[in-house]
Structure 1
Amino acid sequence: MRGPRPLPTTFLFGCAYVLSFVDRQILSLLIGPVKADLHLNDFQFAVLNGFAFAVLYSVLGLPISMLADRFPRPPIIVGGLALWSLSTIGCGLSDGFWGLFFCRMGVGIGEAALVPAVYSFLADIVPPARLGRIIALFSAGSFLGAGLAYLSGGLLMDVLHAGAVPGGLVPWKFCFVIVGLPGLLLAAVIALFVHEPSTRGAIEARAGLMKTYEFIVGQKWLFPLHFLGYSCSAIMLFSLMAWSPAYLMRVMAMPHGTVGGVMGAIAIVCGCGGIYTSGRLIDALTTRGIVQGPMIVGAGGMAGAALMFLASALCGKGNAGLVFFALAFFFASFPMAPSAFVIQTVSPRAMRAQISAIMLLCNALIGLSAGSMLIGMLDDRVFTAADGIRYALPIVAVTASMAGALMIAGTAPFYLKRHRALSHAP
């Protein structure tokens, strides 16, 4: 039987990543009607939008990844996709806070199964010289999904408000049903057409968590600096995605109705363009024998994002500020490809999914949670003016990005040592 072909497989997995971000982001776009219909306060909505999703998404990623390192990965990916799609549909059938809370937890559990298993799978079917761009193509689904959510969420609500909604559901509930259904169809397609590659080999030793821990410790500072450095880059990226609407409205005086279209265009064009450029640069550098290419691309992207966003903050209103803001988003997407590339190329095959899950855990706890909360705290308690986000967001994002660039640059000698060890392995 012929093994999975890289491009069609990456396309299917990328579609799943797009849907994961649409299903993840859609609640934030429906804040008004959800709060009104379910009589929620801001704190309850914040719990649903953030904590309910992230708590099990971050925690369960590691045990699910251990399954992905031990058993065929397509069924795990298909099961996760079906679970988060059904849970998204369940959000539309919920009548209260707790029903929506548990469905959002289901979305988080399902999405925790996707990325580590996909990264491990792609590393088994893609030649090393092309791995950077293939990982970039898959990862671009996150920006495409976020952009589509920005662009289509409000439009979908307008269309549903204008006509009768099937099943007697209110428009926001039907939105959840609509965005959840494609995932079930995609799950069936992946189950039919994607199979475990025969090259994986059943004779390879299964790696438990202790073996993975011993391997990480044995690489000295490579993984600690890698995890912390790219978590700092996640602070920059997640901060831009979470706080950009407020930043554009309060600092750049952009009308509320324009923000969704602008953010959607920036996320799709600059996010997807940046991450694909990153992957191509990694492949170009490594093909030319520059082993530290992933460090150059990752650290360079972080430094570029910090400088561009600082320039945007200094410009304030006007086209120049918006151009620098878009360029900051472009460079902020660079680290996603080298982050995954390094893990897949230096880790033993039986540990790839687990180490990827540890990386995602650090990203979720440090980048998604801590960074965003720190910005909110500074905005509430230090920079209390109406446009306090002008200072809070750049201080956190720029500082984190520069710190991350230094840490990723510091991984270069340890990465080179590991690369040489693998090159001389029998």
Structure 2
Amino acid sequence: MSKESGAVPAPRANAVLALLLLAYIFNFLDRQILGILAGPIITELKLTDAEFGAIGGLAFALLYSVLGVPLAMLADRTSRSKVIAGAVAVWSAFTALCGTAANFGQLFLYRLGVGVGEAGGVAPAYALIADYFPPHRRARALAIFSLGIPLGLASGTLIGAYLASWVSWRAAFIVMGVAGLILAPIMLIFVRDLPRPKVAVADQVPLSRAFPIIAKKPTFWLMASAASCSSLAGYGLALWVPSVLERSFGFGLLERGHFLASIFLIGGTAGVFLGGWLADRLGQSDRRWYGRLPAIAWLITAPTFAIGLMSPDPWLAWPLLLIPNALNILWLGPVTTAVQHLVPQPMRSTASASFLLINNLIGLGVGPTLIGALSVMFKESYGTEALRYAAVSVVGFYVIAAILMFFAVRRLREDWVDDSAAA
């Protein structure tokens, strides 16, 4: 069988996409559950904001970012589907272990483990989707996959809040981890690789060959830097806004869960899907729209996030925060599609992993940790409002992201590699 991605029957491609989406939902569910449970975790384990920020950001990002590239290379050389299934099993097991943590060191270690597992899940999934879907449907398919982010954020927020309210924060981690362990063998059975061109097997596309192709393109560095600035603010806010609602607005655990889950679900899903749909429509005539759309969205995101977070009334904050929660992740479909097209087909997992390495090391590693550290720094000046001001401080990174992406747009057409290009 030597079918190209355009020849895969739609029902089969859609079924694979649905399972990859489910795994991605669990990916972000297991990340976000930490944020909604911040209050009881900080209280029981006696953590400072700086320590909790390190657990939510640095602990997860260290191995998650670094291992992404070698695991993506392994996926390119062996089986992308098997690497994804193994990743689901590993991150789910460590999520369950988080429910047994007795102190800062143990929780930090278990979050490192969650990062190890999730390192193998995203880049191979991007490449599988690019294999299964033809170019004119690829941004929409990647946008649908990226719906795992808002759906996972909403699910993690709501499920975590209810389980912690009914039982304990520890039970929430354990239940979610066991659910992921059940999903892993299902992924292994039903998600399969497509046959790849012989050149991909013969040459094995080593990093020494793949990375120089990416690295010599300024577009890659500009897009990766732009996405990193956006992720720095986005990941930081996702972890800490639940605590802002608790400290500045006086919300209880279930109130925080309902408030944020509705924002993530409505705003996030709309933003992700709109980004993919618009990119496919506009990008057919001008590839530069794959970068323009995110840049415009980020320019609107920055002020609306700041105004929403500083709102004196939580119910006025809801519609204000809905807008940036839609626009701050609109970039996912367009930018991940563009990164796929900066290299030939056999190198897509490696290209995605290189992009994710930069994006996650800066976004995940710095964002949550920075807000936690700023909260401690602002404590003397702002008291209980210190965390709110720390959160507002990072929204300026969306403006930086927009500027960098506008520079990337200038070269995107020249750096684009069509599917027909030789490896």
TM-score range for the pair, normalised by the shorter chain length:
0.7 to 0.9
Aligned residue for 1:67?
74
AA in 2 matched with 1:117: P
**Match for residue 218 of structure 1 among 199, 216, 219:** 216
- Structure 1 position 278 matched with structure 2 position 285: no
For residues 372-397 of structure 1, the C-alpha deviation after alignment (integer angstroms, 9 at most, x for no partner) is 33334444435721324454433321
Partner of 2:413: 416
Distance 1:35 1:250 in 2: 13
SS in 2 for 1:346: coil
Q: Is the 8 A contact 1:144 1:268 kept in 2?
A: yes
- Offset at 1:412? 1.7
User: Are positions 1:269 and 2:276 aligned together?
Assistant: no
Query: What is the distance in 1 between the residues matched to 2:419 and 2:92?
Result: 42
Q: CA separation of 1:53/1:422 partners in 2, compared to 1, >3 Å: closer, same or farther?
A: closer
Map of 1:87 onto structure 2: 94
Among 119, 133, 154, which residue is 1:112 paired with?
A: 119
Q: CA deviation at 1:112?
A: 0.5
Runs of 4+ in 1 over 6 A off after TM superposition: none
Query: Is the 1:207–1:351 contact (alpha carbons within 8 Å) kept by the matching residues of 2?
Result: yes
**Which amino acid counterpart does residue 158 of structure 1 have in structure 2?**
S
Letter in structure 1 aligned against 2:80:
R
Mapped partners of 1:55, 1:423: distance in 2: 33
Q: CA deviation at 1:34?
A: 5.1
User: What residue number does 1:237 align with?
Assistant: 234
Corresponding letter in the other structure for 1:324: L
- Displacement after TM superposition at 1:359 (Å): 1.9
How far the C-alpha of 1:269 sits from its partner, in A, is 1.2
Q: CA 1:370 to 1:96, structure 2 compared with 1: closer, same or farther past 3 Å? A: closer
One-letter code of the match for 1:365?
Answer: L
The equivalent of 2:369 in structure 1 is 373
Question: Corresponding residue for 1:130?
Answer: 137
Which ranges in structure 2 are unaligned for 5 or more consecutive residues? none
Structure 1 residues 357, 306: CA separation in 2 closer, same or farther (over 3 Å shift)? same
Equivalents in 1 of 2:112, 2:22: separation in Å? 22
Aligned CA-pair RMSD: 2.7
In structure 2, the residue matched to 1:164 is none
Deviation sequence 1:17-36 (CA, Å, 0-9, x none): 11122222334444566567
Rounded to whole Å, the distance in 1 between the matches of 2:16 and 2:213 is 30
CA spacing shift, 1:72–1:305, aligned 2, 3 Å: same
CA distance in 2, matches of 1:249, 1:28: 12
Q: Decide which moves more: 240-249 or 290-299.
A: 240-249
Structure 2 CA distance, aligned partners of 1:306 and 1:269? 19
In the TM superposition, residue 298 of structure 1 has moved relative to its aligned partner by 1.2
Q: 1:371 to 1:29 in 2, by over 3 A?
A: closer
Change (3 A) 1:129 1:293: same
Q: How many angstroms apart in 2 are the aligned matches of 1:44 and 1:412?
A: 38
SS of residue in 2 equivalent to 1:309? helix
For 2:286, what is the secondary structure of its paired residue?
coil
How far has the Cα of 1:197 moved from its partner? 0.6
CA offset at residue 49 of structure 1? 3.9
Give me the TM-score of the superposition, normalised by structure 2.
0.87
| Further displaced range: 114-123 or 83-92 | 83-92
**Mapping of 1:142-291 within 5 angstroms?**
142-160=149-167, 171-198=168-195, 200-204=196-200, 205-219=203-217, 221-250=218-247, 253-257=249-253, 258-287=255-284, 289-291=285-287
Contact in 1 for aligned 2:234/2:367 (Cα 8 Å): no
Q: Label 1:183 to 1:203 Cα distance change in 2 as closer, same or farther (>3 A).
A: same
Alignment counterpart, residue 396 of structure 1, candidates 394, 397, 401: 394
- Residue 340 of structure 1 corresponds to which residue in structure 2? 336
Task: Determine the C-alpha separation between the residues in 2 that align with 1:191 and 1:298.
Answer: 34
User: Structure 1 residues 28 and 375, CA, compared in 2 at 3 Å: closer, same or farther?
Assistant: closer
TM-score (structure 1 length as normaliser): 0.87
Partners of 1:423 and 1:111 lie apart in 2 by 28
Unaligned runs of 5+ in 1: 161-170
- In the TM superposition, what whole-angstrom CA distance separates every residue of 1:229-260 from its partner, at most 9, and x where no partner exists? 11111123223312322443455x35234222
Once the two structures are aligned, what percentage of the paired residues are identical?
Answer: 31
Q: How many correspondences in the alignment?
A: 409
